[in-house]
Structure 1
Amino acid sequence: MAQLAGLILVFVLVFGGLFLTGGSGAMHALPFEMALIGGAAVGTVLIGNSLSVAREALGGFAKAFGGAKWRRDDYQDLLVLLGTLMRKARQGGFVAIEADIETPEESAAFEAVPRILDDEGASGMICDAFRLMALDLSDPARAEQRMDQSIAAYLDQRMKAVGALNTLADALPALGIVAAVLGIIRTMGSIDQSPAVLGTMIGSALLGTFLGVFLAYGLVGPVAARFGQIVDEDARFLDVIRSTLGAYSEGLAPGVALEMGRAAIPPALQPDTATLEQALSASRFIAKSRTAA
């Protein structure tokens, strides 16, 4: 919400000033210049990146204004899910959670947390970690190494998209100059016109430089910075999974492993101990009810 308010403020001030000082000529040329620079900007992103990275980069605009994906309730749901799976594995061995990790879409534990189930990165990381622990009990560190690799792959893909936006921000002033030069060329072709006409044409040409600088430092640059922050914030969710299951794979009790994971959650999103314990108790009660039924 703060980012959206900032965007509105910037646009109102800048384009309000342009309207008041630039007159009708500048406003008449604005759509053409915007389409020229914007189209060239999208083209540079496509030229310099793979299709997946380009799509991720352009989607970064929506993510920058939408905020981080994971909320406080999601972190609590994650700890409850991990606690449920660790407790079942502790009591009945890894065979007790085989159905949960092989077909999570049919697991009652995963169905209780649909946002985590729908996220392939988070659900896949959980299932892979438990699967590796079950396959190789002699080397518990292997599961943690695999989780480290998953987090690194997540960050690599998304930081490439952040880098693409930063490159675009660097390129926009130059694209604005290109648009301005095109306007000057058009003006020189009408050199026999009156000074009033030439003044309007030159002002429209300089509008390209204005837009290039504004879009670079007033929009794309800040969006890239915010997108990078969101990537880091969302990666924290995966880091909590790694911290919790890494502790469990080393032989710590589920309760201790959960506390290790809770400590890895940012303070602003961290569920308190009492609330988490209530959620875990409710999960255990529901599981016993299903078993009895």
Structure 2
Amino acid sequence: MLILIGAFIVIASTLGGFMIAGGNPLVLLHVSEFVVILGVALGVVVIASPMHTMIELIHKIKQALFGKSTGRGDYVEILKMLYEVFMVGRRNGLIALEEHVMNPGQSSIFTRYPSFTGNKEHMEFLLNGIKPVIDGKIKPDQLEELMTAELRAKDEEKGHPVHLLGMVGDSLPAIGIVAAVLGIINTMSAIAEGPEAVGEKVAAALTGTLLGIFVAYGFVIPLGARIAGINAAENQTLRCIMSAVAGFAKGLAPLTAVEVARRGLDSTVQPGSEELENILKAMPAVK
């Protein structure tokens, strides 16, 4: 919602200032300039990126417009779930976690946290971290390096739409100049029509330059920054899972492993240490 409010402020302040200066917003409405600039920008996206990146870009834009960020309450739920998993592993041995990991849809633990299990990426990351320890395929002190490599790969993949938007944003002012030059060429062919016609076509050409800069710095580049922020928030959740699982695998007590994960969170979403401890201790005994 905030991104829509921001877009409204950008448009309203630009048109409002133009009207206060005596301008008529209708003179900015030249369909040909919109077609050139937005069409070329779309072509740049198609040329510069493979299909999966374009699909991911659309997904990220929808997430930026309508998605819900992970809040403090969500992290409390994640930490509670991790604590339950670790308690089962501590009391009954790591082999007891196998039934939960191999069939999470039927797990008595995971089914209590649908908001987490509904996120395929987060769930897979958690399971990929626990499985090697249960199987004995990796030493506990090697797990963090393994999960870090996976996290790094995910971070790089998520950065592709951001880089693409940055490239489009950098290109739009130059695309606006292209639209303006086309407008000037059109103006030269209309000189014989008189000053009024020439003035109208020059205004249309200048609108092309304005539109390229306006769309780049008012929308595309800020949108890229918003998506980068979303990626950072998603990576924070994965780091939270990684630090807790790696700590538990190294022999930390469940409460300590969860506390390590809590301390790695931003202050805006971080529950208090004493508050979290009281929440965890008040949970019913897990089997």
Output the TM-score relative to the length of structure 1.
0.89
Q: Give the secondary-structure state (helix, strand or coil) at the position aligned to 2:192.
A: coil
Matches within 5 A, 1:99-178: 99-136=99-136, 139-178=139-178
Instruction: Tell me the residue number matched to 1:228.
Output: 228
The answer on 1:97 being equivalent to 2:97 is: yes
Share of identical aligned residues, percent?
Answer: 30
Alpha-carbon displacement from aligned partner over 1:73-97 (angstroms, at most 9, x marks no partner): 1111111111111111111122212
Instruction: Tell me the residue number matched to 2:276.
Output: 276
- Give the drift of 1:22: 4.7
Please identify, of 141-150 and 251-260, the stretch whose mean Cα deviation from structure 2 is larger.
Answer: 141-150
**Aligned partner letter, 1:111:** T
Matches within 5 A, 1:1-293: 1-18=1-18, 21-23=22-24, 26-29=27-30, 31-66=31-66, 69-136=69-136, 139-281=139-281, 283-285=283-285, 287=286
Distance 1:17 1:193, change over 3 A: farther
Structure 2 distance, partners of 1:190, 1:58, is 41
Alpha-carbon displacement from aligned partner over 1:97-124 (angstroms, at most 9, x marks no partner): 2121112122232122212112122111
Please identify, of 58-67 and 194-203, the stretch whose mean Cα deviation from structure 2 is larger.
Answer: 58-67
**Aligned partner letter, 1:205:** A
- Give the drift of 1:252: 1.0
Structure 1 distance, partners of 2:146, 2:140, is 11
Alpha-carbon displacement from aligned partner over 1:183-232 (angstroms, at most 9, x marks no partner): 22222222211211110111011101000011111211122122212211
Structure 2 distance, partners of 1:154, 1:138, is 21
Structure 2 distance, partners of 1:276, 1:185, is 68
- Give the drift of 1:26: 2.2
- Give the drift of 1:25: 5.8
**Aligned partner letter, 2:27:** A
Distance 1:75 1:25, change over 3 A: closer
Structure 1: gaps (5+ residues): 289-293
Q: Give the secondary-structure state (helix, strand or coil) at the position aligned to 1:265.
A: coil
Distance 1:40 1:102, change over 3 A: same
Which structure shows the higher helix fraction? 1
Structure 2 distance, partners of 1:281, 1:116, is 21
- Give the drift of 1:138: 6.4
Output the TM-score relative to the length of structure 2.
0.91
Distance 1:23 1:122, change over 3 A: same
Structure 2 distance, partners of 1:134, 1:184, is 70
Q: Give the secondary-structure state (helix, strand or coil) at the position aligned to 1:270.
A: coil
Aligned length: 286
Structure 1 distance, partners of 2:267, 2:26, is 52
Alpha-carbon displacement from aligned partner over 1:153-204 (angstroms, at most 9, x marks no partner): 2211111211111111100001111111222222222221121111011101
For the 8 Å contact 2:76–2:271, the answer to whether it is kept is yes
Distance 1:22 1:175, change over 3 A: farther
- Give the drift of 1:274: 4.3
Structure 2 distance, partners of 1:253, 1:216, is 51
For the 8 Å contact 2:18–2:25, the answer to whether it is kept is no
